[in-house]
Amino acid sequence: MGRLSLEALAKRKESARRKERYDFYAQRGICPVCGRQDAALGHVYCQDCLNNKKASIEKNDPGFEKRKTKKKERYDYRVANHLCVDCGKPLKTKYKRCKKCLDNIRFSNRVWLLKKKLEDEKNGGKAKA
């Protein structure tokens, strides 16, 4: 095993500390970026930080806007032609997604809620004081 330089050690310590802080907030449903606001539903970050992140992605990635437009075009095309907006299959229902894609969304929402519930219980048990 090679010896780590002081700098590498400090970096490692710093990233561990950051990870700890991140987990601390994320587990409590608080945004780890600002540490002040509740996380947005289905996200780790709060709505403000999500918006900031989005803005910085758009700034650093000039193709982002273009891809977004393309995605939106595809979405509109699918809605207009009554196709599932996720997989593009013809729809039999009034929904914008086919049953399979709806189930996928419902499933991931359920998993997220369940995870949050478990975390809450875990944290609730710990924070007795």
Footprint of Zn ion (CB under 5 A) = 31, 33-34, 37, 46, 49, 84, 86-87, 98, 101
Q: Using the minimum distance from each CB to Zn ion, give the nearer residue, 34 or 113.
A: 34
Q: Using the minimum distance from each CB to Zn ion, give the nearer residue, 59 or 92.
A: 92
Q: Could you please report the per-residue DSSP string of 54-107?
A: HHHHHHH-THHHHHHHHHHHHHHHHHHTTB-TTT-PBPSSSSSS-HHHHHHHHH
**In whole angstroms, what is the distance from residue 94 CA to residue 49 CA?**
34
Q: Using the minimum distance from each CB to Zn ion, give the nearer residue, 27 or 37.
A: 37
**In whole angstroms, what is the distance from residue 124 CA to residue 29 CA?**
13
Smallest distance from Zn ion to CB 29, Å: 12
Smallest distance from Zn ion to CB 97, Å: 5
Smallest distance from Zn ion to CB 28, Å: 13
Q: Which residues pair with 90 in a beta bridge?
A: 83
Residue type, 43: H
Q: Using the minimum distance from each CB to Zn ion, give the nearer residue, 34 or 114.
A: 34
Smallest distance from Zn ion to CB 25, Å: 9
